Structure 1
Amino acid sequence: MNAELGLRERKKQRTRETIARAARELFAERGYHATTLPDIAEAADVSTRTIFAYFPSKEDILFSDFPLMREALAQALAERPEGEDALETVRKFILSLHEFEKSDLDEKMRLCIESDETLRSHLRARLAQLEELIAPAIAKDLDAADDDLRPQVVAASLTAAFNVLSERGEGPRGKPKTEDDVAAQIDPVITFLRGGLDALKEPRTARRR
């Protein structure tokens, strides 16, 4: 029974990946808005009904990697080593996203999103979901009160930095980014935010006087 269930799940995952790959290739070739769900269904050799079984909308296909990214960040924050603050965990997470070589298709999807305000808005909405993971972790580090705005402000700053990094897809001289390139960009942001938090740290009871 378990083997059968595992086989079924692997088949579903392959179908999902096939749909996403076919859609992205069409987005790159024709443009996001010019590509229809029937176009994607034909390219993936599935029905439009099958597409809806995996993706509620065309937008969800474009951002098909995001649920895995969100899950990975949630796990990283939940399992961070004792003594490691949320800022360092997020830093490591951002660097980990650049460990894998980006394909030409990945770059085309980045440009597709960057060149369209509607898609950029969809991306910002998804990044807001990451804020919802980061802010509670920072609040825990600070032992912050419920009305303390610092965790949310810092989380928003981190996701804004992540957004800017995503938009700047190339490294120096137009070459693909290395991990060192990403670290050089994100580390000053982390240092700035940590410095601000450290300067404002004080016992909760003192803040309420």
Structure 2
Amino acid sequence: MNIGTWLRGARLADGTPADVHIEAGRITDVVRDPPATTTGDLDGYVLLPSFVEPHAHLDKALTAARVPNPAGDLRGAIEAMAAAAGSFSTADIAARADAALRVMLAHGTTAVRTHVDVGTSTGMRAVAALADVRERWAGTVDVQVVALVGRPWTGRAAPTCARRCARGRTSPAAARTWTRIRTARSASAWTSPVPRGRRSTCTPTRRSTRPC
């Protein structure tokens, strides 16, 4: 193979030496046990498949300096983020997600599953932002957006269908269905809070064929 570029001298995960051929930006061949005379551009590097990040929160990425957590624990982080989330604009969320994806890609990650808050403080802004980010990164990083729906389901701040549910005009299942419909156009999957003692569930929408 005379065209393209050979990167020589890498090692596979099992320690086997390998040369890599790249053509038009894609790996077209990996040759194990190259001749001993091979000199390498990848000497000292390990050649691995690209990484997958199965659980990210790109809508909250790069906010440590802006959202301090004095308690230093999970509960403190949740409360601090809930208080700050209302100040995040769609453009801000998208810019931080883009920056986080650039770092992930630089370290070899090409698929990310991100949970994205949907609730009274953020509305649909985070889902809309991440849907746009997903489209921009298509073909480079595969981004799956999971709408993480929070409380309240009832009361003045709840979605319209949930308020109707509280007044007995529809069921809790209908309220959840309403939220799924609202998020399905942008999110790949949907999750909701689950009462203590029950197992969490994830229901894919038509956009997603992956298991949850």
Whether the TM-score (by the shorter chain) exceeds 0.5 is no
More helix per residue: 1
Which protein is bigger by CA-based radius of gyration?
Answer: 2
Structure with bigger RCO (C-alpha 8 Å, 6+ apart):
1
